[in-house]
Amino acid sequence: MSTVPEFFASKVFDDKVMRARLPEKVYRSLRKTIDNGETLDLNLANSVAEAMCAWAVENGATHFTHWFQPLTGITAEKHDSFINPAPDGRVIMELTGKELIKGEPDASSFPSGGLRATFEARGYTAWDPSSYAFIKEKTLCIPTAFCSYGGEALDKKTPLLRSMDALNRQALRILKLFGNTEVKRVVTNVGPEQEYFLVDREMYLKRKDLIYTGRTLFGAKPPKGQELEDHYFGAIKPRVQAYMEELNEELWKLGILAKTEHNEVAPAQHELAPIYATTNVATDHNQLTMEIMKKVARKHGLVCLLHEKPFAGVNGSGKHNNWSMSTDTGENLLSPGETPYENARFLLFLVAVVKAVDEYQDLLRLAVATAGNDHRLGANEAPPAVLSMFLGDELAAVLDAVETDSPYAGAERKTLKLGVDSLPRFTRDTTDRNRTSPFAFTGNKFEFRMVGSSDSIACANIMINASVAEALRQLADDLEGAADFDERLHALIKETYIAHKRIIFNGNGYDDAWIKEATEQRGLLNLRTVADALPRLLEQKNVEMLTSHGIFSETELKSRYEIQLENYVRTVRIEALTMADMARKEIIPAMAAFAASLAEGAAKKLAVGTDVGCRYETKLVKKLSCLTDTADAAAEEVEKTVTTLDALGDVTEESRFVRDEVLPKMAALRAVCDEAETLTAASYWPFPTYGDLLFGV
């Protein structure tokens, strides 16, 4: 086995490979395309394609595919082989520039939310040179964006790239105002910390709920859950260790910088964090990471659960989205600097994010709204559905001093004049972390913690980039028109902070008192479910903002609204049907069988004599018979709601019905069955319990 540096990125057509294999001129043009988003002409594309194909074939690839992210949430690929007939009857392996640049998968079976009705079903994929091509199994995967011929985005990458461009444009305006002209491009970076559960595959296969829905729909609390917190950062078990080792290797070969791994709070829960990368690349890498996590698990007799809430009563899984903005000259714009100007610039970018999160709370919330994530955000778990930001004590003190024109203790006790005075050196605060905050400043980046573990990070980052771009636009408009830049800069930071400080909260984010304060006193939004959050996408202020930056067209927004709601409805519908099925075919029969055997036993005992005690059997048979009837009725209710749901026909109406009727009926069915589980002999219970699953690896 070779060493990590030797095999790292061995399956990636990255800069090193390009430099070695492309003619100097082609390499330089391609680099420009990658770094500055310039277009590449077809001649150069031919040359790149040829080199890419030769490299891929040498590395065992036989096929290529345009790899893209349709609105299903997973990635899609359609494989074509490289072979082409040669005149001598043999074949040559070939990839043309045209094949590299553009593909035409059949778009008709991907969700398009009404776009299909208005536009042609046909769509095309377009090479995204900013994300390197890689080899998976025997296939060269070319990262692409997916659009309809009418130009409407049918994927998550296209609007993500657009949002990065929007942020770039606005951030450059701000930098120019600060006299910085050498910066050519501002990019956003993301490091997504991925949480997941591992369960034993044999046990998994015995549970229809896990197979069909990715989460347990039934299950009584085990005697031991996560209360001892003995799992967090605990020693990793050998089987899990072996899994993590192989996972790391597979990820490293693909150039994914898997860095940290540890156990999480819940039993059987773990986390993997990569080193951050440009948002676009980080998004591709996270999609690949999720795919490979699942694949490697199979090899170890495990199943990797990426669902946001696989187990009730146990912490769910999220994906902390660490986000920052940086320049092509290597500066982190969320890092406090050395000079007064740098510090004022830092504070301006900081308040821009505060303004963005406050004004577009709804967009950030709906960007992470899925049926699975509702179980985390809408329930009593961190983070809550209410957006708020944590800045840390030191920064809060600086901003408070600016707000009130009062002396800041660190600044030699005089009032601060931003842009002129030196700010005290901020030390990077990593100790005083607020783990319950949905949007926390952690020294030189923001950590958005609401993203669900199974979701693509694209949607969240589209909305973060868009909201921040809009805030920067407004700030730049204001500053560009200012007679005295320093004067206006100081006032603007102050005004912006005052206008949006309601979003800042440093306390416990899942305290009921906070939710009350947030909604009643501060007027923040509490959008608990997908059905509550999604309609905000089509609010005028949001449509105007997103279209004005060219991130979405109005048609695209409508289609995404439909797709996301449809997804919610369909997911819950499958869960409801799975529950009814498990109750009818497995749980209720098990309860009845156990009760029957008890009754039979009691009858035999009574045959011995009337003085033989049957207290245990009598009590339990009565109780179980009663629960069996309740469960039967509850299953009927669930089935009825699905029938009603199917007759509705309008997706908005359906989503509300799911929230108000289907989910509560499912909860009722679960409650009876979970109670029955605690009363039924283990040998009768039809599938592995929470205890088996959580402690079985």
**419 vs 486: CA distance, rounded Å:** 6
How does DSSP classify residue 257?
-
193 interacts with ligand ADP by CB under 6 A: yes
**Which one, 444 or 508, has the nearer CB to ligand ADP?**
444
Report what 273 binds from ligand ADP, Mg ion, none; CB cut-off 5-8 Å by kind.
Answer: ligand ADP
Q: Which residue has the tokens 């899994």?
A: 243
**273 vs 257: CA distance, rounded Å:** 8
Q: Binding ligand ADP by CB under 6 A: which of 65, 226, 322, 641? A: 322
Contacts of 664 (CB under 8 A, 6+ apart): none
Tell me the two tokens of residue 540: 């005028």
C-alpha closest to that of 571 among 523, 520, 529:
529
Q: Please, what is the minimum distance in Å from the beta carbon of residue 435 to ligand ADP?
A: 10
438 interacts with ligand ADP by CB under 6 A: no
For residue 573, what is the enclosing H or E element? helix 554-582
| Interface contacts to Mg ion, rule CB under 5 A | 320
**Which one, 273 or 352, has the nearer CB to Mg ion?**
273
Size of the site for ligand ADP (CB under 6 A): 15
Q: Please, what is the minimum distance in Å from the beta carbon of residue 338 to ligand ADP?
A: 17
275 interacts with ligand ADP by CB under 6 A: yes
**Which one, 155 or 381, has the nearer CB to Mg ion?**
381
Q: Binding ligand ADP by CB under 6 A: which of 139, 144, 287, 324? A: 324
**Which one, 262 or 294, has the nearer CB to Mg ion?**
262
Report what 91 binds from Mg ion, ligand ADP, none; CB cut-off 5-8 Å by kind.
Answer: none
444 interacts with ligand ADP by CB under 6 A: yes
Contacts of 84 (CB under 8 A, 6+ apart): 91, 92, 93, 94
Q: Please, what is the minimum distance in Å from the beta carbon of residue 334 to ligand ADP?
A: 7
Report what 148 binds from Mg ion, ligand ADP, none; CB cut-off 5-8 Å by kind.
Answer: none
Report what 275 binds from ligand ADP, Mg ion, none; CB cut-off 5-8 Å by kind.
Answer: ligand ADP
**253 vs 13: CA distance, rounded Å:** 11
Q: Please, what is the minimum distance in Å from the beta carbon of residue 320 to Mg ion?
A: 5
DSSP string over 443-465: SSSEEE---BTTS-SHHHHHHHH
Q: Please, what is the minimum distance in Å from the beta carbon of residue 195 to ligand ADP?
A: 12
189 interacts with ligand ADP by CB under 6 A: yes
**Which one, 214 or 443, has the nearer CB to Mg ion?**
443
Distances from the Cα of 401 to the Cα of 407, 443, 550, 584, angstroms: 6, 19, 38, 64
Sign of torsion over alpha carbons 304, 310, 316, 322 = positive
HSE-up of residue 3 (Cα within 13 Å, Cβ side): 2
State yes or no: cis peptide before 383, omega within 30 of 0: yes
Beta strand segments in 421-560, E: 439-441, 446-448
Tell me the two tokens of residue 189: 């970076």
**How would you classify the pairing of strands 269-274 and 133-136?**
unpaired
Report what 324 binds from ligand ADP, Mg ion, none; CB cut-off 5-8 Å by kind.
Answer: ligand ADP
Report what 73 binds from Mg ion, ligand ADP, none; CB cut-off 5-8 Å by kind.
Answer: none
Contact 255, 284 (CB under 8 A): no
253 interacts with ligand ADP by CB under 6 A: no
**Which one, 320 or 549, has the nearer CB to Mg ion?**
320
C-alpha closest to that of 534 among 560, 516, 497:
560
**Applying CB under 6 A, which part among 113-121, 273-281, 382-390, 634-642 lies near ligand ADP?**
273-281
Residue nearest to Mg ion (CB): 320
555 interacts with ligand ADP by CB under 6 A: no
Q: Binding ligand ADP by CB under 6 A: which of 70, 97, 103, 191? A: 191
Percent helix, strand, coil in the chain (nearest 5)?
A: 50, 15, 35
Q: Please, what is the minimum distance in Å from the beta carbon of residue 429 to ligand ADP?
A: 11
DSSP string over 23-70: -HHHHHHHHHHHHH-----HHHHHHHHHHHHHHHHHTT--EEEEEB-B
Q: Tell me the three state secondary structure of residue 683.
A: helix
**Which one, 258 or 697, has the nearer CB to ligand ADP?**
258
Contact 255, 134 (CB under 8 A): yes
Residue nearest to ligand ADP (CB): 191
276 interacts with ligand ADP by CB under 6 A: yes
Report what 30 binds from ligand ADP, Mg ion, none; CB cut-off 5-8 Å by kind.
Answer: none
How does DSSP classify residue 77?
-
**Applying CB under 6 A, which part among 148-156, 190-198, 284-292, 681-689 lies near ligand ADP?**
190-198
Q: Binding ligand ADP by CB under 6 A: which of 66, 156, 231, 445? A: 445
Q: Please, what is the minimum distance in Å from the beta carbon of residue 440 to Mg ion?
A: 9
**Which one, 300 or 320, has the nearer CB to Mg ion?**
320
274 interacts with ligand ADP by CB under 6 A: yes
**Which one, 442 or 454, has the nearer CB to ligand ADP?**
442
How does DSSP classify residue 422?
P
The total of other beta-carbon atoms located within 10 Å of residue 545's CB is 21
Binding footprint of ligand ADP on the chain (CB under 6 A): 189-191, 193, 273-276, 322-324, 332, 442, 444-445
